[in-house]
Structure 1
Amino acid sequence: MEASAGAAVLTAVHDLVPALRERAQETEDRRALSAETVKALAETGFFRLLQPARFGGYEAHPLTFLRGVRELAAACGSTGWVASVIGVHNWQLALFPAPAQQDVWGDDPGTRMSSSYAPTGTIRAVDGGYRVNGRWSFSSGCDHADWALLGGIIPPGDDGSPADFRTFLLPATDYVIEDVWHTVGLRGTGSNDIVVTDAFVPAYRSLSFNDTARCACPGQEVNTAPLYRIPYASIFSYAITTPIIGMATGAYDAHVDYLRERVRAAYAGVRAAEDPYSQVRVAIAAADLDAAWLALEADLSELMELATAGEKLPMRLRLRTRRDQVRGTELAIGAVDRLFENSGGRALATGTPIQRFWRDAHAGRVHAINDPERALSLFGRGEFGLPITDAMV
């Protein structure tokens, strides 16, 4: 992709930000993004950034995509979250067998997918594919998608074959959406339940996590850009952490603007901006956000450089990426907490951006990919020379 195309998308995203910030409370109140917001995002070209060129996509550097995510989430946490997870699905579909990509994008390259990866349903292997049943939760943006990516485990076979954790691709005609999303944070994501009853999924519409861990997926036969040789765990995990960094960035901007004008009556009318303790808290929050983002940039830049050169991606780099991802989430949460604590009682008022960013960031933190101990333990195992068997690296 020409750099100018990515720059044009980011410029269009930037131009959209004031409107998204203006309707952030409306998005929260409706518990879902509006059709107007999703249409506007699509018109910027944002969803095409990680899509294969064969279907009109830009095959952009993942940092281009994540810079857009961060700016969107700094305006509206729910919008940034949905944009990120919906947008990254175009990258994942590029790893599926070519017929699956054709099923989704053949008639309309703008078709979108939602997801729910926790293997909460039941999968049964049958001739030519699988029978899928069950309920999957937390499918962000599902009301604006025509397909769903659902995680499932195929039990061990009678022939001794091991269990296999796979992603299954289903059209909206194969499931129903149940409106259950009533939460304290990320209320505007519409992360409702997907319910499937005895749907048949052809074998070509599934993808093994073992293949994604090996960076050897069927879709690479037709999508040869370096972008599609990056580990799933590196791309998807940062698609979850980046919105949280964006929410903390939005809280930071709102906090600084607020304190410029705030007068602390309890401290003899001293302007908050002149309070040295407030200055220190702002400095620490800014440093933590910079550290989170700079590590993200360094990791993905190195991964892309190696993939572009056709070189093997070292396990230590992959482990470092997961380490920095969970630490990035922790740093962002620490920053937003510090800013919230420094904002005073008026920040508690319904409708203020700081409390909304605080709630949204903490809601994003509980996503399974942000489990710090698991990722940090993997890095430690690698440093001690112990075997790594987890597919999420």
Structure 2
Amino acid sequence: MGNTVVEAVRGLVPALADRAQETDTAGRVPDKTVRELIDSGVFRMLQPRRHGGLEADPVDFYAAVRAVSAACCSTGWLASVLGVHPWHLALFSGQAQDEVWGSDPDTLLSSAYAPVGRLTPADGGYQLTGHWSFSSGCEYARWALLGALVVGDQGRPVDFMTVLVPRTDYRIEQAWDVVGLRGTASNDIVVDKAFVPAHRVIRNYEQAQLSGPGQQVNPGPLYRIPFAAVFTTAVTAPVLGAAAGGYESYLSVMNERVRLSLGGGRFAEDPYAQVAIARAASDVDAAILQTDRNIAELLAHASDGRDIPMELRLRTRRDQVRGTERAVAAIDLLFKTAGGNSLRRGNPIERAWRDAHAGSVHVANDTERTLAMYGRGAFGLTVEDNLV
């Protein structure tokens, strides 16, 4: 079924490419596009079968995201982050899942995972207050997954949670005015003293230990692989797609271009340009191969009931951040060698360059910190981090 969705998504690519400039200019993905993505099934790829989902191979999900992102990275970013949230919700209690999907399995969720919320224990749950930034696609969602700290009697944080909040309990503040990924409309979410029942909360520690209440109703292997792998790869996949799309645009535009200086002649005959496209193509291919390999191995371990070794978890994160680095390096090289024409607003190379750089600054792409974690593990030192 995952392959069927990938083919359906690829059928949308020409129309998405035609709307890419409109999306960038308007600062939001058109409603028509979101409807098409819903109908394609991409948002249900990682959703549990018990709620109308496909429980598809995540490698297929990331392939679908890259295909969308090659046409329009803002749209691909929404496909990825809104599409990965059903996987996360599947780790919550069955009651929470029923509340979200019980009446409409196409219900979407946005997120803002930074632990800026304040949770105060209350009878039967918690009281939540906070202001979160960068909730991509929040206007299309009816629920939000938000990061928060539980505050103890002394006013100090005692636990790190992710909480599930309905649209009726928060407001959206328009704050998204940026240079890249402009169409994601990643606006702010504000909550003021909302009650969150205990069944809509999950401890990040449990999540990192590959356990959660949702596994009682969703026993499939898809829900027994690390959040740190599934979500961070969902951040890298659109950046890889943008680089791949920029590469294809580069070949199309530059193939027939004639130089007006440096001796003239067809651009395609320039050996330096030939080397540039070889390097760019290799970087993108290498990143895709590594990320797909790691996700496939994680799922294979879970499918076989084997423990997932820390080495594999660390390698997955290593290759994920390096994948983003490789994608940015590829589009940088193409942008530079395309010459002055790449500076024109609205051309696909320029947009891919902006979008890839915007995606690269997400906290999931904290390269030095992530590579240091891998190095600690390689030296046999203890690694304790929820993002592994």
Work out whether the TM-score is over 0.5.
yes
Q: Which residue of 1 aligns with 2:102?
A: 106
2:270 is aligned, of 270, 275, 280, to 275
Question: Following superposition, which runs of at least 4 residues in structure 1 exceed 4 angstroms of deviation?
Answer: none
Specify the alignment match of 1:76 in structure 2.
72
Cα distance between partner residues in 1 of 2:267 and 2:108: 46
Deviation, 1:58, is: 0.4
Secondary structure at 1:312 match in 2: coil
- Tell me the SS of whatever aligns to 1:223: coil
Q: Does structure 2 conserve the Cα–Cα contact (< 8 Å) formed by 1:94 and 1:220?
A: yes
How is 1:127-276 mapped onto 2 (pairs within 5 angstroms)? 127-156=123-152, 163-276=158-271
- The Cα shift of 1:157 comes to 5.7
Residues 239-283 of structure 1: per-residue CA shift (max 9 Å, x gap):
000100000001101011111011111123211100000000100
Please, which runs of 5 or more residues in structure 2 have no aligned partner?
A: none
TM-score (norm 1): 0.97
Distance 1:45 1:190 in 2: 22
Q: Using the TM superposition, give the Cα deviation of residue 211 of structure 1 relative to its aligned residue in structure 2, in angstroms.
A: 1.0
**Contact 1:181/1:190, CA 8 A, preserved across alignment:** yes
Distance 2:86 2:312 in 1: 24
Q: What do residues 96-138 of structure 1 show as CA deviations (whole Å, max 9, x unaligned)?
A: 0111101100111110000001112222111111111121000
How many residues are treated as equivalent by the alignment?
388
Does the Cα contact within 8 Å between 1:114 and 1:149 map onto a contact in 2?
yes
Task: Tell me what 1:91 maps to.
Answer: 87
How far apart are the structure 2 equivalents of 1:120 and 1:304?
32
**Is 1:20 aligned with 2:41?**
no
Name the SS of the counterpart of 2:219 in structure 1: coil
One-letter amino acid matched to 1:56: G
Q: Distance in 1 between matches of 2:243 and 2:156?
A: 45
Structure 2: distance between partners of 1:306 and 1:70 = 25
Describe how 1:239-388 pairs up with structure 2 within 5 A: 239-388=234-383
SS of residue matched to 1:117: strand
Q: Which residue of 1 aligns with 2:386?
A: 391
**Cα gap change, 1:161 to 1:218, in 2 (>3 Å):** farther
The answer on whether the counterparts of 2:120 and 2:152 sit within 8 Å (CA) in structure 1 is: no
The structure 2 residue matched to 1:48, chosen from 19, 44, 48, is 44
In 1, the alpha carbon distance for the partners of 2:211 and 2:44 equals 23
Letter in 2 for 1:187: R
| TM-score normalised by the chain length of structure 2 | 0.98
For residue 161 of structure 1, report the CA deviation from its aligned partner. Answer: 11
Distance in 1, Cα, partners of 2:53 & 2:117 = 32
Q: Give how far 1:155 is off.
A: 2.8
Give the Cα separation in 2 of the matches to 1:163 and 1:316. 29
Opposite residue 111 of structure 2, the aligned amino acid is S
**RMSD across aligned C-alpha pairs, in angstroms?**
1.3
**Is the Cα–Cα contact under 8 Å of residues 157 and 163 in structure 1 kept in the other structure?**
no
1:63 aligns with 2:59: yes
CA distance in 2, matches of 1:150, 1:227: 22
% identity of equivalent residues: 54
Contact persistence 2:77–2:235 (CA under 8 A): yes
Output the CA distance in 2 between the equivalents of 1:56 and 1:323.
33
Q: Tell me if structure 2 keeps the 8 A contact 1:121–1:135.
A: yes
C-alpha distance in 1 between matches for 2:26 and 2:140: 14
- Contact residue 244 and residue 329 of structure 1 kept, 8 A: yes
Shift of 1:297: 1.2
Equivalent position to 1:11, from 3, 7, 14: 7
* Cα deviation digits, residues 206-258 of structure 1 (max 9, x gap): 11111111001110011011100010000001000010000000110101111
The residue that corresponds to 2:121 in the other structure is: 125
Alpha-carbon distance in structure 1 between the residues aligned to 2:124 and 2:181: 39
Report SS of the residue matched to 1:265. Answer: coil
Counterpart code for 2:148: G
CA–CA separation in structure 1 for the residues paired with 2:157 and 2:43: 36
